[in-house]
Amino acid sequence: MTKRLYLSLGTNLGNKRENLTRAIELLSLALGKCIAVSQFIETAPWGFDSENSFLNCVAAFETSLAPMQLLDMTESIERGLGRTQKSNNGHYRDRIIDIDILLYGDNIIESERLTIPHPLMHKRDFVLEPLAEIAPETQHPVLHKSIKQLMEENKEQTLCK
């Protein structure tokens, strides 16, 4: 059985456009059919200071991999592209590639290694904006709101600060 999967990809080191393109190619080979890719957007670092801006996108796939297989595969692709360390306990750093699992069908998964939907996706413009471009009506399975609604709410909260 296949599931629709949404991944967030980001990079702030090296040839950013090439990093994202190569990651999407490798993901397509490993996960299954890539059905949509958002535009690449340039964003400021989130959660840490860096002189290097990010290039971000969201990609949608149809996959038959189970969630933990998916996590192992995305981490393997990150390592293959040169990522040496994952962020740890909210301590973020510059990275050649970052691949986050946002949504896996309407599944809700909470384990020591993996939480789906991604627990911070609804707070991150760099995730919501490209996700809304390719899947605006997709429902967040925990918050029960569309991605478009979450993006609008996030923008309102940012304006009110």
Determine whether 93 is an active site residue: no
What single DSSP character describes residue 40? P
Determine whether 95 is an active site residue: yes
Among 49, 79, 93, 95, the active-site one is 95
Among 72, 94, 100, 124, the active-site one is 100
Cα angle 73, 78, 115; round to 5: 60
Q: At what angle do helices 125-134 and 147-159 cross, to 10 degrees?
A: 150
Determine whether 72 is an active site residue: no
Q: How far is CA 70 from CA 58, 74, 93, 109, in A?
A: 16, 6, 23, 13
Among 98, 106, 124, 125, the active-site one is 98
Among 22, 72, 79, 83, the active-site one is 83
Determine whether 98 is an active site residue: yes
What single DSSP character describes residue 157? H
Contact criterion met (CB below 8 Å) for 49 and 29 = no
- Element (DSSP H or E) covering residue 156: helix 147-159
Positions annotated as catalytic residues are 83, 95, 98, 100
